[in-house]
Amino acid sequence: MNTKNIILLIIAGVIISMMFVMVKNRNHAPVAEDLPKVLVATVDIPAGNFIRADKQLAWAEYPKNMISPSFILPDAHKIEEFNGGLARNAIAAGTPVVLSSVVRANEGGFMSAVLNPGKRAISVAVNQTSGNAGFIFPGDKVDLILTHKVSFGLASETFIEDLRVLAIDQMLSNPENKAVVAKTVTLEVTPKQAEKINVAISLGAISLSLRSLASEEKNKPQNVNKDDDNYSTDSDVSKLMGGGSGATVNVYHGSGAAEKLDFQGGKK
């Protein structure tokens, strides 16, 4: 056997030995264990906020020896169960969600958990017109307008401002943002505001006026007297309504000259 063949045999032996070692090591390599999954928040969820499960929650792998009995597991729950729920406590992004930190929409006591301390919930009957044609959603802010008869005709006035909408009918969330023509709207109010609303229901018709999400302080016009704009009468709408609803007063001065002042719709 010549030298060249001997060298080729040595190289072949080395290659075979290396392949044997690689196969042996692969057979003894530890098999990666499938980690269990738990429900985690994908974004920060502040306390008191409604939860959008499809946008804010997801299943994530978690070390088995670190799983707590309070964690939410896929074999016991579905993500959809928590859609429209309320975060009792702040949940940081990437941390597991525990059952005690969430109130689900179908659980008893959900509405009382939604309310801020000292607030109450009251429902107002609405229709397609008074309810803004279904474009008011839970979480929006609204003003309440009362339209009723007064001594000189009809009047419409904003009697409560900046109320938070808690629910539309029995829906506490609207994840698909679809317009829904509601029969009732539930609002978060103070005890005094609840009393005013009950009186207003007896006086006339209540309508909801949707407020902008933008900060009102930044966009507030200058030199506007708020009290001048919180009510309107029938004479503001139609000049024909002012003739019989007003009154004329003769004011006599010391010189004997008379001045007529006209009061229309309760306004000078």
This prediction has a pTM of: 0.56
Beta strands in the chain (DSSP E): 37-41, 57-61, 86-87, 102-103, 120-125, 141-150, 153-168, 184-189, 205-210, 231-233, 247-252, 258-263
Region 236-247 average pLDDT:
63
- Answer with the residue of higher pLDDT: 262 or 47: 47
Q: What are the distances in angstroms from CA 34 to CA 13, 31, 60, 63, 73?
A: 39, 9, 12, 10, 15
Instruction: State the average pLDDT for the chain.
Output: 78
Asked if pLDDT for residue 78 goes beyond 70, the answer is: yes
Nearest-CA neighbor of 173 among 86, 248, 249, 91? 86
Nearest-CA neighbor of 52 among 63, 43, 64? 43
- Which helix (H) or strand (E) element contains residue 232? strand 231-233
Asked if pLDDT for residue 188 goes beyond 80, the answer is: yes
Between CA 191 and CA 112 the distance in angstroms is 14
